[in-house]
Amino acid sequence: MSQPDVNFVRGLRETGMLSDSECTMIGEKRELTDEESNIDQKKVLDELLGNGRLTPFQAEEIEAGRGHLLRFGNYLLLSRLGEGAMGTVYKALHLRMQRVVALKTLKPETSKPAFIERFYREVRAAARLNHPHAVAAYDADECESGHYLVMEYVDGKDLSAIVKRDGPMSVSEAVSAIRQAAEALAYAHRFGIIHRDIKPANLMRDAHGNVKVADLGLARLSNDHTIAETDERAELTQSGSIMGTIDYMAPEQAIDAARVDARADIYSLGCTLYFLLTGRAVYEHDSLMARLVAHRDASIPSLRDRVPDVPEELDQLFCQMLAKTPEDRCACMEDVAAALKAFSATDPVAESLNLRAQTVFVIEPSRFQSRILQSFLQDIGVDDIHLFRSVHETIAEIGAMRPDLVVTSLQLPDGTGIEFLQRLRDDLRWSLMPVLLLTSIPLPPEQLQFIRNTRAVALLEKPFSQEQFTQAVQGTISESRNQSPSVAGLDQLRVLIVDDSSVARRRIEATLAELGFARFSQAENGKIAADILQQRTFELIVTDYNMPEMNGYELVAWTRRESPLPHVPIIMCTTEYDPEKLGEVYQLGVSAICNKSFEQDLVRNIVIRLFK
């Protein structure tokens, strides 16, 4: 008699999908024959597959007796993504954080001490990089199964696979992808990191169009000639890898890869642009040597010959990127990224919003992340950008500067983005101020429902591309502006304006009239207003604070406690800035407080909140 394969049981236990008692129960079934035991194992796997407790890849590995190899430290392998020069790449799950990642294992041939030392040195350099268009390096370690690298998982495909599946890209689509890659490479170059293996297969794009550069800081390890390749199959694999890279390799890199600078990446990115637009390599020859020679000596083909709708200026940029000598290429990757922005299609929505005239507050505790957001805003034409690190700093300035948009992270040192949004919406002055919330964690249902029910608010999940950010900014501002400037029936509502200045009363009346109000009464002070309120009914009171014979505080107190209209909306329009005095007025139940300028946009927000 035989018991189930010990590796089968161990594999189930290692995955964590079954409890120890369940695994023990399976292992104790000793009365089965080998055939019956195998059938039983298959039933167990089928059941686990059916209820989603195992992936097909995990079931296959367990059935083959390799289930115990599914664990790499705190990571559980979910599926195989592909094979690289250094090893195999898997989709994996961090068991405690429940975060899906990409895990790259190192081949046994790479176990030489010199290579391992260099591997961890390169990983440390790559871990310093944090850019929205670069695949992040999270972790590197060693376990029973060997050395491994943990990276950000991009739920999408590489650009090579996309072009092979869908055909060549449009000009705007290709330019967008190359520009995003150029921004990430420009950032890496500032740290002295050269990619050396830019090609479509190393540019990942998710379902939202966000492009990320893979293997940034690690690519040269893949081409390390110290990796021993002994058997014939390995040699063929390595040759195939080199053949694929040659199509995008700068001429000087073929001579001495160790001495190239950032301009080699510019050349490779230009070759990648050509492939995205044409679906073909720049130079197509049968042999590796012929391609190498062509990159060194052959004339640069015209993009317009292949794709007639390519702008002449883009064709010129492409030719400059593919100059045979580094000195004749673009000076740096920043220049490439800046040049590519000029070919972005003009957005009529952005033009209508006049973003250049907008004031934007950014609340982000990370200086690095706030600089990225500032760069994104500048790219779409916003010039007046103010950076804050906390809710307290922002609230202190929001009344004086009145931003047109607030972009805020969800996690802040003195609260959350949701709490900040709630504070804005509770104040009628800012009830329609556009807010863009940025989050990297899932929100609970009640918070999502609050956002859906709140006007002029958008939620954008990290990571996001420049295009996604731009669309979110435009959509949030547009929604705010599309709010009706008046509310139906305002012309039937009676308004009492109380101020000791006749000029101020006329200004307030004119502003309210532009919003649709038509029935006004005026009073010079609180005492006269109280007399009027005892005789007539009003749907809105607008009052000053500092007045003789009954100030605004006393008028609000009398209205709430003694008048026949205790629930009438009251807007206090004042130059009083003493927080204690204004706080007391709020406690009495004033509906909103605004300054004496009584600006129409601000008043409109208050009116819409009160009467819509």
350 and 382 in contact (C-beta within 8 Å)?
Answer: no
Starting at the edge strand found earlier in the chain, the sheet holding 592-594 runs 519-523, 494-498, 540-543, 570-573, 592-594
| 141: its two tokens | 């370690």
Structure tokens at 367: 């200086």
Euclidean distance between CA atoms 219 and 104, whole angstroms: 13
- What distance in Å separates the CA atoms of residue 160 and residue 341, rounded to the nearest whole number? 23
Tokens of 38: 């195998």
Closest CA to 53 of 78, 26, 77, 17: 17
Catalytic residue among 5, 158, 197, 215: 197
Quick one: which of 262, 280, 245, 270 has its CA closest to 323?
A: 270
Asked if 197 is an active-site residue, the reply is: yes
CA dist 6 → 47, 60, 86 (Å): 19, 16, 31
3-state SS string over 463-532? CCCHHHHHHHHHHHHHHHHCCCCCCCCHHHCEEEEECCCHHHHHHHHHHHHHHCCCEEEEECCHHHHHHH
What's the CA gap between 590 and 572, in Å, rounded? 7
Encoded tokens for 540? 């809105």
Question: Do strands 405-409 and 211-213 pair parallel, antiparallel, or not at all (unpaired)?
Answer: unpaired
Contact 385, 360 (CB under 8 A): yes
Structure tokens at 409: 């992270």
Asked whether 519 and 491 are in contact (CB, 8 A), the reply is: yes
Locate the DSSP E strands across 153-221: 156-158, 203-206, 211-213
Q: Rounded CA gap, 121 and 104, in Å? A: 16
HSE-CB of 319 using CA atoms within 13 angstroms? 15
Q: Give the Cα separation of 140 and 224 in Å (integer).
A: 19
b/e code 134-153 from CB counts within 10 Å (16+ = b): bbbbbbbeeeeeebbbbbbb
Those residues with Cβ within 8 angstroms of residue 432's Cβ, 6 or more apart along the chain or in another chain? 455, 456, 480, 483, 604, 605, 608, 609
List the strands of the sheet with 75-83, edge to edge: 71-72, 75-83, 88-94, 99-105, 146-152, 137-143
Q: How many other C-beta atoms lie within 10 A of the C-beta of residue 166?
A: 11
Residues 6+ apart with CB under 8 A from 50: none
Separation between Cα atoms, residue 506 and residue 65, nearest integer Å: 87
Q: Which residues are catalytic?
A: 197
